[in-house]
Every structure is written in C-alpha cells, then in structure tokens.
Amino acid sequence: MHYQVFIAIVELGSITKAALHLNVTAAAVSKQLSNFEHTLGLKLFNRSHKQLELTPVGESFYPKCKAIILAISAAETELYQDNMAVQGKLSISLPNVLARSPIVPMLAAFSQQHSQVELEMSFSDDLVDLHQNKIDFAFRLGELADNNHLIAIPLIQTRLLACVTPHYLEHFGAPESLSNLQKHKLVLMTPLNASRALKAFFQKQQIKPDTLPAHRSNNVEGVYQGVMSHLGIGLLLDYSIQKELQDGTLTPILPMLDPDLPRKTLYLLFKKDQQSSSKQMAFKSHVKAFFES
C-alpha cells in the first residue's frame, strides 16, 4: 500500500487527489506517506502549505517504485491467466482394477479436448493420501473411510462377475453349483490381497478359498490374464471387462451367485479445500458428463 500511495501522490501531484484516486481520506494518505518515509529513513517530499515537491531521493526512487508495482501487477495477471487456462499437470489416482475400464479412454477424451493438460496417472490399491501426494483427483471403489477433508461424488454401481472363456467352457464345462467347484479350477487373488467384500462373500457361501483348486495372483491384472488364458474361473469387476463381455471373449457363469457377489460404488474424490483451477473444473465437468451420458 505504501508504494501505491507514493506513486499516486507523484503522478497526481497532491495528497488530496491521491486520496480520491485511492478512495481513502486525505488524512489516511498523509499518514501512509509519513509512515513510509519513517520506514525508509528518508524524505521523499518537501512539504509546504502551498505545494508538495519531490526531493532528489524521491525523484530517484519513483521510477524504481513504479517498476516494482508494474512487476507485481504483471505477475498477478499471469497468475490469473494461468489459473483460468485449461493447462498444466493433472494428477489422478486409480485402483489397479480400473486400468482396463472405460475410465482410461475417458481420460484420453479429456486430453484430446484439452491438449495443454498433462495427465499423471498413478495406479495403486493402497489408500493414497491426496494431500500428502499432491493428487488432484482419485477414483475409488467400495466403502470410503470417514474423511472430513475430502469430497466424494458417487458415479456408478459396479459388481463382481464369475467369468470364464468360451475355450474353458468347451473343455471343462460350467459348474452347476458351488458344491461343484471342486471339479474346476479357479483364478483367485491371494488371501492377503483379496478385498474384505470378497472374503465376506466366501464366508457367507461357506466356501474356504484356500481349500479350492485354484491359481492365485497378488494382482488383479494377474487374475484377468489367468482367466483370459483359460486357466479357470475368475471373479472380475464388470466395469473393467465390458468389452470382453460384449464381444463374447468372456462369459459370465453361475447366475445364482449374482445377488450375493460384492457390489461397489465408484466414487470421484477430491480435496475439500482445493481451490479449483480451470483445469480441475473442466475435469469435474467432463467426468460428470461422461457418467451421465
């Protein structure tokens, strides 16, 4: 404020005119000027009852002071323009199971619309801290821990499906019931990596997965690749295998299990205290339009 007051007095020629320009009282401008001179330890003006004249120090200081104000103004303008432009990096966290889902093509469509945005996609089943890891958005499945610092927007409902390839069915057939699973091979997540919902499902069905003949993987991609390679029956997220179900590459079986297989809500998460830039607002609008279409 001191710099602005000084420049206004110099350019307008009086304290009264500077006060009108700054929309404050003349007394306030006079006090600001006195405080500024006291802080600097230098006299910027020679005062008399008739006129106000710059001292040699004031004359030397004015262009430097003006340059400072112009630089600050230019920096603020640039900051505003950067914030309004749909550009820069956008960090997005996703669980591994969504790597094959329509979300990645949706992100590609957003990138095509906004070519100056760089996407940073991180896939992990760990609960990543959005604040600590400086993540703009996260897609999450299932129950969410209580967190007052995040906003969660529900997008769609998903579910697990028991699936096999037509090749597996041709050679081994489909189990007629859960008791018939002993005659089939399964492709399962390892016990440590299985979700709580999946464990609860097995418990409800009185199935002990560790006693079943099964190939196992610590990663959902391993389960997917195992099923696609005809190793056995797998439990896969319907949203991640839409294409395979449509073209017949995978076939759902055991329809009697459908009501009991885990269902999960897909959420979009972002920080509550996040000051939304244009790129973040554009992304939220893009995701909303995609899931409402």
Asked whether residue 89 carries a pLDDT value surpassing 80, the answer given is yes
Mean pLDDT of 118-135: 88
Asked whether residue 78 carries a pLDDT value surpassing 70, the answer given is no
Residue 98 DSSP SS3: helix
Residues 6+ apart with CB under 8 A from 236: 160, 161, 163, 223, 224, 227, 250
Say which range, 71-85, 100-114, 192-206, has the weakest mean pLDDT.
Answer: 71-85
Asked whether residue 77 carries a pLDDT value surpassing 90, the answer given is no
Q: What is the pLDDT of residue 80?
A: 61
Q: Which residue has the higher pLDDT, 168 or 12?
A: 168
Confidence of residue 192 (pLDDT cuts 50, 70, 90): low
CA distances from 257 to 162, 176, 184, 185, 201 (A): 8, 11, 16, 17, 10
Average pLDDT value for the chain:
84
In the chain, the amino acid numbered 280 is: Q
Confidence of residue 275 (pLDDT cuts 50, 70, 90): low
Residue 257 DSSP SS3: helix
Just give the CATH number of 2-84: 1.10.10.10
Confidence of residue 243 (pLDDT cuts 50, 70, 90): very high
Per-residue pLDDT reduced to its tens digit, 133-182: 889 999 999 877 767 788 999 999 998 888 999 999 999 888 877 667 77
- Give helix then strand counts, H and E, for the chain: 10, 11
Asked whether residue 268 carries a pLDDT value surpassing 80, the answer given is yes
In the chain, the amino acid numbered 150 is: L
Q: What is the pLDDT of residue 132?
A: 86
Q: Which residue has the higher pLDDT, 33 or 107?
A: 107
Which CATH number is correct for 158-264, 3.50.50.60, 3.10.129.10, 3.40.190.10, 3.30.70.100?
A: 3.40.190.10
Mean pLDDT of 269-291: 85
Q: What is the pLDDT of residue 93?
A: 95
Just give the CATH number of 88-156+265-292: 3.40.190.10
Residue 155 DSSP SS3: strand
Span(s) in the chain for CATH 1.10.10.10: 2-84
Span(s) in the chain for CATH 3.40.190.10: 88-156+265-292, 158-264
CA distance 183 to 149: 49
Q: Which two tokens stand for residue 111?
A: 């990138």
The number of beta carbons lying within 10 Å of the beta carbon of residue 102 is 15
Mean pLDDT of 35-44: 85
